[in-house]
Amino acid sequence: MAKNRLLLPRAAGIAALIGCVLAGTSGIAWAQQTQPNSAVLVDSKGVFIVDFAAGTASVVAIDVSMSVKTLVSPDQSLIAVIDAEGLTVYSLQGGNATKLGNFTRTLDTRAAWSADSSSLAFVHRSGGKTEVRLWSRATGQVKVLL
C-alpha cells in the first residue's frame, strides 16, 4: 500500500520528516497543542500521538472510524468521541471508556472541553427535550445545566 510522507513544522518553521501515513488518509484534525513537545493527531484511520523531540508517532488503540466528531482535551490526556451510538470519553493513555450519552434519534455534535480539561459540556436531546449537560472528570458525574 502506498504511503505518503507527513511533514511537520519545527519551532523555527523548518519542516521535519516524522513518519508516514496510509494513502487515502483524510480529515486530519490536530488537538490544541498544550504539551511543548507532543501533539495528538486524529483522522478516520485512528488516533496518533506525535513526539516532536523524538521525531516519532505512536498509535492509540481507539476506534474513531465511525466518529462524527472527536474532541481532544486541552491537556491531551482524553478524547471525546461522538458517533451514531453517543458520546464516549477515552483516556489517551489507555484504560476505561466513559459513556456520557446515547443518541437514539438525533445526533448532536456540540461539545466543548473546559480550558483545564476538568469537564466536558455537551448537548443531549431526548424525547423532544434539549439539555446542556456537564461531565466532571473528577467525579465522573453528569449534571444537567439547562
Instruction: Inform me whether the pLDDT recorded for 68 exceeds 80.
Output: yes
List, in order of start, the domains of the chain with CATH numbers.
Answer: 3-144 (2.130.10.10)
Mean pLDDT of the region 53-80: 88
Instruction: Inform me whether the pLDDT recorded for 139 exceeds 50.
Output: yes
Per-residue pLDDT tens digits for 8-27: 554 555 444 444 443 444 44
Give the model's pLDDT for residue 17. 41
Q: Measured between alpha carbons, how far apart are the two ends of the chain, in Å?
A: 49
Give the model's pLDDT for residue 124. 82
Give the model's pLDDT for residue 28. 42
